[in-house]
Structures are given as C-alpha cells and as structure tokens.
Amino acid sequence: MINSHYQRVDEATLAACAGLPASILADVCGRRGALDGQIGAIHTGKRLCGTAFTVDVRPGDNLMIHAALMLAGPGDVLVIDGKASTTCALMGELMCAHAQQAGLAGIVIDGAVRDVDALRQGALPVYARAANPNGPTRIHGGRIGYPVSVGGVCVEPGDLVVGDDDGVVVVSKHEAPAVLDAARRKVEAEAQRMRDIQAGRLLYGWLEGALKTAGELPEERSLEALMKEFRSAQG
C-alpha cells in the first residue's frame, strides 16, 4: 500500500528548525516526541532535519524500503518501522548511497543497519537501533506514506524530523509552527541562563517555588536562607 497524498511541514518552518537542538524541541513539546534512546546516530556530528517519509516493513524484509528510495525526494527522511528487529540489517552502504544521491535528508530505522564503517565515512545522517551483518529478505509487502510507530513515537508522513548526537525528535507537522516559536524562546532563555552562570548568578528563579510545591521547603523559608544555613552547618 502506497499513499502519496499527505501534507508536509512547510519549508519555512523546516528551514528555521534546521539549527535547533533536538533537546530544545523535545523540551518545548512537553518532553514528548523523542525516539527511544537505543535509536542513535551511526556517526556523531551530523545533524538531521527533514520531513518524514514513512515506511512500514515486515521484520527482516526491506522490499518497501527499496520502493521508498525510488519515491522519496530531496529533503525527505526515511522513517522506517522495522518493528525494532535487529536480527538482520534493513539497509547498508549501497542503499544509503542511493539515498544520498537522491538528495534525502537522512535515514531513521527502528531496526538494524550494516556496513557501519562506510556509513560513518558518508555524508548521510543515519540513525538506527543496532548493527548486524545479516542481510534482509525482499519478498514481503508493507506500507509507504502511512502513520508508523518508531522508537515508541507515532510518526505521520510529512512530520518534522530533527536529529543530532542526542537522538531524534519528531514534531507533528500541525504543531511545528507553534513549536518553532516556543523553541526560539527556549533558546534565548537558556542563553540567558548561561550568561547568569558565567556571571556567578547561580540561583535558579524557579527552584524555590518548585521545592515548596514538592513539600521539600517550608513556605515560610527561602531557598537562599536554606543555602546559608546548610553551608554554615557544613563549615
């Protein structure tokens, strides 16, 4: 089954998100959208940003991935639901070279890859659950362009996919513009926090209230007073 009719995240939002850390996007999405940490970069230092081109395959079979390579276009990220099977590789050097030549933005596989040394030398960002030298079969059908579950996250075709050394985050195409605005504010807030740290202003503005809400600091006491008392007792 192949579906070609779906909306994609708009190009302006995609371009604006290209430089955002995955951690920032995960934070402003309510700590949601990050794939299982076992799905990681084959080679660190490569950023991934593009639109999800979803592929659903049978465990250990890559027939529909070959079809996807012929259908996906520049800027697409193959997001492959391999059912977390790591008994054989679904892609290797040749298929990833094909993807790079076709202008794809990257590969995300909930499954295994092989030819890891070659993939690390290439320019294409590849994220996978594991490596395995076994090859796959090419006999079973699947689905392209339909929602998939990858690394515990539901991914719709056309969603925003961002990856870096921390992992991969998927943002709904419908929420991406609002998330972008929130991410920009988060970046500035963290930059201000770093300036405060470098200037020696180490007390978090939110921490006292959070400790009181958690019942760890009495309402009538301040965190600053507690810090002084603690240091005095230690000294």
- Where are the domains positioned within the chain? 11-180, 186-234
pLDDT tens digits, 19-76: 899 999 999 988 889 999 999 999 999 999 999 999 999 999 999 999 999 999 999 9
Check residue 230 and give its pLDDT. 86
pLDDT at site 199: 92
Residue 140 three-state SS:
coil
**DSSP β-bridge partners for residue 106:** 77
| Start-to-end C-alpha separation, the chain | 70
The pLDDT value given to residue 187: 92
Give the phi and the psi of residue 202 in degrees, each rounded to 5. Answer: -100, -10
Convert the pLDDT of each residue in 135-167 to its tens digit. Answer: 999 999 999 999 999 999 999 999 999 999 999
Tell which wins on pLDDT, 131 or 221. Answer: 131
pLDDT digits (tens, 9 = 90+) for 107-124: 999 999 999 999 999 999
Least confident span in 92-106, 153-167, 169-183: 169-183
- Which is the CATH superfamily of the domain at 11-180? Ribonuclease E inhibitor RraA/RraA-like (3.50.30.40)
CA 193 and chain centroid, separation: 24
**Percent of the chain beyond pLDDT 70?**
100
H or E element that contains 212: helix 207-213
Pick from 23, 11, 38: nearest CA to 162: 23
